[in-house]
Every structure is written in C-alpha cells, then in structure tokens.
Structure 1
Amino acid sequence: MSLLDFLFPKRCVACGRFGSYLCDEDRKKIEPAKSFCPVCLKAAISGTTHSKCKSKLSLDGLICIFDYKSPTKELIAQLKYRFVRELTEVVRTELKKTKSLDNFDFREFILVPIPLSAGRKNWRGFNQAEILGQAVAKRWKLPFKPEILKKIKETRPQAKLARSERLRQMRGTFASENTAEIEGGKFIIFDDVWTTGATMKAAAATLKRKGAGKVWGVALSSSH
C-alpha cells in the first residue's frame, strides 16, 4: 500500500466500502442502456433515428452505453464534480467488457467530445467528456479529434435546469472553423450523460450546418 492510499484510502463511490473506487458487488450492478430514437425518445432498433423523425440538422442515431443509475451515476458525478480522475481507469475497465458499438460500422467516423468553454476547463483542469471520450475512441479504435468543436458561450449547469431551459440556452453555444474537414465527413459526438439531449443536439446541428454527412451521438450513460 502506498503512503497516499494509507492517508486517503479508496472507497467505493456507491456504497462507501474501503478498498477500491468500485467494489465487486456494485460493479455487478452496472447495466446497459436501452436503445431509443434521439428525437422522439421512443424505442428504436440500435438507436437509429426514425425516418419520420429525421431532419436536416438532427442526429442520425444515438448509442448510450450504460444506464444512468447507481453505481454509474456516482462514478460520473465523482469524476465530473469531485475531480477524481483516477475513476477514468474504472470506466476503461467496464468499457472493455461492453460490446455496445461492436455491431456498428464506424470505421470512417471521427469521435468528437462535447467541449467545455475555455474558462470552465481552466477552472476544472480537465474536460471529463474529453477524457472519457478518448477511452471510448481507444476501445473501438476510432480517430479522436477534440479540436473540431469549440464552445463559444458560457452556459449554466444543465443539471439545474428544466428541459425547456436546457434547449433554449444551448442555441449558439458551439462553433467550428474546420469546415474543410467537416464537409461530407462522418462524426460521433460524445458526452458523458444523455438527459434531454439538448447539448448533443446543438453540437450535431453545428456540424450538420458545416456540411457533415453523418452525425451520431454516443453517451457513456443515459437517464432516459
């Protein structure tokens, strides 16, 4: 045991048991998320957007990997709000077990994480969507390009807002200057949690306006 572990022992994020950030019992409780259309939120085969729901700027589909309940909920919260970056290794371990994206042909897709504003990233010291997105990209051997999207408007924390407020505040939030790389390209937008989808939908619309051919969403977890 290292001195650091002795002074600050690891505890399970869900039950508080000493020894690791996720105990064996709670690890068994991690469940896969259901597939649904990102527009109407009704069940959809493999998360593909229903043809009747598609629009010029909509996501072409959505894959959510884990269900957003204990212990996944606590894992993300501890990483996002308590800045426990070591939890990324726990997530990587769980990603190795899942086959969520194995049945999709994403060979020509580029994974782009939802960006933080420069101010918030400097304050937090890292972007959890970027760190987790890199783990997802590595797991499924996808190109990873966080520089494609920029967040140009500060927004209030989404967790504290009603659905209508989330949708309203996300307008004009993202931008991209990489028009040549985006035009005709295929992209996966990654975020840690899908709640209303306001953030991911706004990011998808930004890429579609720049001429992206396909834009899918991938979320580590879903509360839907």
Structure 2
Amino acid sequence: MRKTALALGRAFLNLVYPITCYICGEKLAENKGLCDRCLSKIETNAFGIAACRYEGVIKEALRLFKYKNAFSLINTFSRLFAEFIDRNIDMRKIDLIIPVPLHPVKLRERGFNQARLLAQPIARRYNVPISISNLIKVKYTKPQSGLNRNQRLRNLRNAFSVKKAGPLKGKKILLIDDVYTTGTTVNKASYALKRAGALEVKTLTLARGI
C-alpha cells in the first residue's frame, strides 16, 4: 500500500513538475539529467585519461552541475565513466579511489566537491575503497583558467598534501577530477600521493579540453 502511494505521489509530481533534459528541455521518463538525443552528441572516449571531450553538451552539463546544482546529471556522468572504464581500465588492479580535493574555503563557497560526487558512484560500482580526507588541498589558489603554463605551475606549487602516508604506501590509486585542461592540477596531486608512497597513480577525468 505504501509503495503504491509513493508511486502515485511521484507520478503526480512528474505531472505537475515534469522532469526535463537540462540541455534541451525535453521531458524525461526518469531523472537522469540528459535525454538520449543530447547524450548522443557527446563525443566519448576521445582521450586516454578522459571519458569525453570538453565541448558542447558535456561542457554545458558540467557548468550546470558545478554552478547550478544540477545534481541529477551525476546519473549521466556515471554512465559515461562506466563506459570508458569498462573499455580502458582494469579496476581489479586499483586499490583506492581518490577525488581531487578542494581547498576548505572553496568547499565552503561551493558547498560540495564535484570530484568527490563523481568518484563516489565509481567506487560503489566497482567496489573499490574511496578516500575523501587523506589528500588535502592546503593552498588557496586562483582559478587555473586564463593562466599560462608557468603561472599554472606556480599557482599550484605545494598546493596538495597528504595527512597520513601509511594507507597510501604501495597502493595503486585512481585519481578522479572533472576536467583535464593542461594536467597541472592532477599532476601536482599525483606528485603528492607518490611522495607519500603510492606505487602508481592513474588519472581519470570526465572531460578533457581540446
């Protein structure tokens, strides 16, 4: 009886407040963020470390996710990650998943760490432990966009640190972030993990700039 009532309630809400695609506005049967037509426009598996190209639909979807709290898009992002991982990464050889952290000030401003939200479904799907507090960002940095290569390197110098090296020693780690532009952020984070004793650090991002 209760399940029936809940189903009727959801049906009523969908009638009054229909679920729509974040990009084109088409009505959706379920809250998955993007319709199949918009999803088909995303160029996937374009690079060795990213699930798709940072352009068009995926670029706008990430903007809505990060700045407009379009959290249902995580369903689409998880699907894109899974398709890429199943083709390219042997998750049986990954000991630990770590999302690239935000500085505490930035985390308070945004309210969430997008890399963590992207990493959690991957950890659940492949049954791999996730660490969300050991790798930390200790330096508040300017946005990387708009900076040249040398400025990016200076901006992120000594930006990441590890709280406890023990749990990382000898581990094969999958480092997760949302966008790969020049690689400075993930390279600096990877360096901190390797200095702490990680055996190997693979990087995986949802999108990579062209």
TM-score for the superposition, normalised by structure 2: 0.82
2:41 to 16, 19, 29: 29
Matching of residues 151-166 of structure 1 within 5 Å = 151-166=137-152
Matching of residues 107-126 of structure 1 within 5 Å = 107=92, 108-126=94-112
User: CA separation in 2, counterparts of 1:216 and 1:197?
Assistant: 12
Letter in 1 for 2:21: C
User: CA separation in 2, counterparts of 1:105 and 1:156?
Assistant: 35
User: CA separation in 2, counterparts of 1:126 and 1:114?
Assistant: 12
Partner of 2:133: 147
Contact 2:100–2:186 under 8 Å retained in 1: yes
- SS of aligned partner of 1:159: coil
User: CA separation in 1, counterparts of 2:35 and 2:120?
Assistant: 24
Q: 1:207 to 1:5 in 2, by over 3 A?
A: farther
Partner of 2:91: 106
Matching of residues 1-224 of structure 1 within 5 Å = 6=16, 10-14=19-23, 16-20=24-28, 21-35=33-47, 47=48, 63-96=49-82, 98-107=83-92, 108-224=94-210
Contact 2:139–2:159 under 8 Å retained in 1: yes
Please give the per-residue CA displacement for 1:33-64, whole angstroms capped at 9, x wherever unaligned.
Answer: 333xxxxxxxxxxx4xxxxxxxxxxxxxxx21
- SS of aligned partner of 1:123: helix
Larger Rg: 2
Which of the pair is proportionally richer in helix?
2
Q: 1:18 to 1:64 in 2, by over 3 A?
A: same
Following superposition, which runs of at least 4 residues in structure 1 exceed 6 angstroms of deviation?
Answer: none
User: CA separation in 1, counterparts of 2:15 and 2:106?
Assistant: 29
TM-score for the superposition, normalised by structure 1: 0.77
Contact 1:13–1:71 under 8 Å retained in 2: no
**Unmatched 5+ residue regions in structure 1?**
36-46, 48-62
**Unmatched 5+ residue regions in structure 2?**
1-10
User: CA separation in 1, counterparts of 2:27 and 2:181?
Assistant: 31
The alignment-based identity, stated in percent, is 33
